């Protein structure tokens, strides 16, 4: 890797609206995704919006995994950033299954180019 971290943005479409609207389902799926990726979970926080939608994040020692859901559009946006050796593909597979996503798109970025800092 020529960067400090890897940032993966995933969009899940055609999801089960009931799953995306349920705070416990989204929280459990995100924690399971972090575990499946081999990340070290530090803490997490999730919030259910009225009338629907869930936002939240799992803080991992390697960085974070965040989500916002739009059940009314059967859509979830996921943000996975890591500066360590985690398997993001395994984590996203857990989310895809939990939300019964029919489609998925990804954008991957390298963050923080490694450079030698001169003193």
Q: What is the CATH number of the domain that holds 36?
A: 3.60.90.10
pLDDT of residue 115: 67
Structure tokens at 95: 């989310």
Within a domain: 91: yes
User: Structural domain of residue 13, as residue ranges?
Assistant: 3-112
Within a domain: 95: yes
pLDDT of residue 3: 82
Domain tally, the chain: 1
Residue 48 is a catalytic residue: no
Within a domain: 101: yes
Residue 15 is a catalytic residue: no
pTM over 0.85: yes
Q: What string of DSSP letters covers 39-100?
A: --EEEEEEEE-SSS-EEEEEEETTEEEEEEEEGGGTEEEEEEEESS---HHHHHHHHHHHTT
Catalytic residue among 15, 21, 68, 82: 68
Residue 52 is a catalytic residue: no
Within a domain: 118: no
d(CA 98, CA 7): 22
Per-residue pLDDT of the chain (119 residues; tens, 9 = 90+): 578 889 999 999 999 999 999 999 999 999 999 999 999 999 999 999 999 999 999 999 999 999 999 999 999 999 999 988 899 999 999 999 999 999 999 999 888 877 666 66
For residue 101, which of 64, 70, 59 has the smallest C-alpha distance?
70
pLDDT of residue 110: 86
């Amino acid at each position: 890797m020529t960067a400090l971290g890897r940032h993966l943005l995933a969009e899940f479409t055609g999801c089960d609206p009931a799953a995306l609207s349920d705070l416990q389902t989204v929280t459990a799926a995100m924690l399971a995704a972090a575990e499946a990726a081999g990340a070290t979970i530090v803490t997490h926080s999730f919030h259910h919006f009225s009338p629907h939608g869930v936002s939240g994040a799992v803080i991992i020692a390697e960085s974070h995994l965040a989500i916002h859901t739009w059940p009314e559009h059967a859509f979830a946006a996921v943000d996975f950033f890591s500066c360590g050796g985690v398997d993001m593909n395994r984590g996203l597979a857990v989310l895809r299954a939990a939300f019964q996503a029919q489609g998925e798109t990804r954008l991957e970025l390298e963050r923080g180019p490694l450079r030698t800092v001169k003193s």
